[in-house]
Amino acid sequence: MMSRVKIFEQASQHHHDGRLREAESLYWQILEKDPNHPEALHGLGLLAFQAKKYDIALDLIGRAATQNPATPQFHYNLGLIWVALKKPEKAVAALGRAIKIKSDYGDAHYNLGILFQAQDEPDQAIIHFRQAIQFQPQAVDAYYNLGNVLKNLGQFEEAIENYKNAIKLKPDFPEALNNIGLTLKEQGHVAAAIKCYSRALEHRPDFAEAHWNRALAYLLVGNFRDGWPEYEWRFRRGDWQRTPRRHQSKTTWDGSNFEGKRLLVYAEQGLGDTLQFVRYLPRVKALGGKVILEASRTLHGLLEGLAGVDELVDPNLKNTPSIDHDLSVPLLSLPGIFKTELDTIPGTVPYIFASNDKIDLWRKCLGEDGFRVGVVWAGRPEHKNDRNRSCPLEWFIPLAGIDGVQLYGLQKGAAALEVADLPESLNFTNLGDEFENFPDTAGAIENLDLVISVDTAVAHLAGAMGKPVWVLLPYAPDWRWLVDRQDSPWYPTMTLFRQKTAGDWGVVFDRLMKEFVLAKKVH
């Protein structure tokens, strides 16, 4: 008869080789003789974990840890189970116990880094990724994720160094090449970024994320010919593929005549994107039958009566479970379908209008005296680039001190709370909280002499209405604002104010104040 040691060795070998039933049988054979055998309990727990029977795994490995609390691997695997159960605090505690027992436990440090990264605790994440690398110098993923954390903190050179270290260990690493590209683009090195995306695609030609990022880089530098085809890769990215759409089964419109048919054009991105690209709908309508626009209900009051649209519908499947249509097309695919170049952008404004009743309503509120200026200092906090694009309200305050200027906030959301800290004597009124909908915003804008906004939907609305609008841009702007220009081919009445270095709004407002004084004189 084999000893328990031999039986366990055999069970472990079966487990390692993937013969899970044989391993389970031997683990139970040990436990029949010794119900508290910690290694057998742990082995069965791992089998349960692999089968995603997490409660059973917690019980078995927990019992193993109780029997032998000095074994770091038991605590480590408890940590992984808590990760799978989406209990990060318990996972951190278990992994912490593992490294308290074994301070050089590289895998535990790595997983702690991942947890802290997900919880937006970059300093802790950096500590543990660096510890993982120290104890496991071949830890490719630790280098890669350390690079990701550093990139998000704006520590670009060190981020690139870590991505390159990962590539040295794993030459076929398109994700790292892609992220070097993203980091270079954030630094303004767009041509170098494009080269990195292209190298990533040499390793993996169907890498949707690299295609998408290369599209954004092409578009940013005005290379629309190469940019629009690449932009279609957005639908093969993970986030897009997980989004259910009722029109996925319909034939995608290719720009040909659709006389006698019903075409559903659906807005698939943000509110600002919708406002920017509905300009194409009259061109669509000229090619055929009925045009149905599916757009956020938030915008319906603005888009009713829009040129080129026969019907406006809600994307919410509960509100509009079915739409009769023959063809469909994403709204942001229209520039590519029409082969738009910089000099063929349909730039005629206005194409969105405030209603007369809203114009009258807000005229009564705002009056007609002075130089009336509306400001927006922040976008949606959940936007991935909000940290860079939003601007502290305090930068706008000197405008309110200029004689004859009436400053109005058009700000909604949490950022509007900053107004409460302003002196009551300041010539500033926030209208945002009084806006019930976008038609209210449009009505107020129509009564203003100038709108100054960070990169938000309000900037697009003012531009689409043909109102003078100044847009404040971060150092690495969104693709639609292009590079090295103060105007926008998308909006003839728009002026762009760009950061010269990342995070520095001072230079932006130095120029803005000079031009503001001149604009007020002309008014």
Cβ proximity of 139 and 132 under 8 Å: yes
Strand partners, 263: 291, 327
pLDDT of residue 515: 97
Calpha distance 345→202 (Å, rounded): 32
Tokens for 100, please give them.
């308290």
Place of tokens 């543990």: 128
Q: Is the dihedral of CA 82, 84, 88, 93 positive or negative?
A: positive
Environment class of residue 421 by beta-carbon count within 10 Å: exposed (0-12), middle (13-18) or buried (19+)?
exposed
Instruction: Give the tens place of pLDDT for each residue, 119-167.
Output: 999 999 999 999 999 999 999 999 999 999 999 999 999 999 999 999 9
Q: Return the residue matching tokens 């807000």.
A: 362
Tokens of 292: 């149905």
Rounded to whole angstroms, the Cα distance separating 183 from 56 reads 43
Which pair of structure tokens corresponds to residue 454?
């960070």
Q: What is the DSSP string of 442-490?
A: HHHHHT-SEEEEESSHHHHHHHHTT--EEEEE-SS--GGG-SS-SEETT
What contacts 77, CB < 8 A, 6 or more positions away?
A: 42, 45, 46, 49, 61
Give every CB contact of residue 101 below 8 A, 6+ residues apart in sequence: 70, 71, 72, 75
In angstroms, the Cα distances linking 262 to 156, 323, 385 are 49, 10, 37
Q: Establish whether the linkage from the previous residue to 492 is cis, with ω within 30° of 0.
A: no
* Residue spans of the chain under pLDDT 50: none
DSSP helix/strand/coil, 250: coil
Which H helix or E strand runs over 140?
Answer: helix 140-152
Res 368: pLDDT: 85
Tell me how far CA of residue 471 lies from CA of 32, 69, 214, 509, in angstroms: 73, 60, 25, 11
- At 57 the three-state DSSP class reads helix
**pLDDT value at residue 4:** 76
Q: In 3D, which of 455, 376, 19, 261 has the Cα closest to residue 43?
A: 19
Encode pLDDT of 19-73 as tens digits.
889 988 888 988 988 899 999 999 999 999 999 999 999 999 999 999 999 999 9
| Structure token digits, residue 33 | 């003789």
Distance (Å) of CA 440 to CA 78, 251, 332, 523 = 54, 37, 26, 24
pLDDT given for residue 369 in this prediction: 87
What are the tokens at 433? 């909280």
491-498 and 487-488 strand pairing: antiparallel
Burial of 153 (0-12, 13-18, 19+ CB in 10 A): middle
65 touches 78 (CB < 8 A): yes
pLDDT digits (tens, 9 = 90+) for 349-374: 999 999 999 999 999 999 888 999 99
HSE of 405, CA atoms in CB hemisphere, 13 A: 25
Domains and CATH numbers, the chain: 251-344 (3.40.50), 356-522 (3.40.50.2000)
* Integer CA distances (angstroms), 291 to 257, 327, 339, in order: 12, 10, 20
C-alpha span between 405 and 270 (Å, rounded): 32
Given a contact cutoff of 8 angstroms between Cβ atoms, the answer to whether 108 and 72 are in contact is: yes
Identify which of 212, 215, 176 has the alpha carbon closest to the alpha carbon of residue 196. Answer: 176
Tell me, what's the pLDDT at 316?
A: 80
Contacts 24+ apart (CB under 8 A), 44-50: 45/77, 46/15, 46/77, 47/15, 47/20, 47/23, 49/77, 49/80, 49/81, 49/84, 50/20
Q: Which two tokens stand for residue 214?
A: 């290369």
Order of strands, sheet of 288-294, starting from the edge strand that comes earlier in the sequence: 251-252, 327-330, 258-266, 288-294, 311-313
User: What letter would DSSP give residue 298?
Assistant: G
Q: What is the pLDDT of residue 187?
A: 96
Which one, of 135, 133, 184, lies nearest residue 162 by Cα?
A: 133
Q: How far apart are CA 147 and CA 151, in angstroms?
A: 6
HSE-up of residue 224 (Cα within 13 Å, Cβ side):
18
At 290, is the secondary structure helix, strand, or coil?
strand
What is the secondary structure of 259-274 as a DSSP string?
Answer: EEEEEEEE--S-HHHH
Measured distance CA(11)–CA(27) in Å, rounded = 6
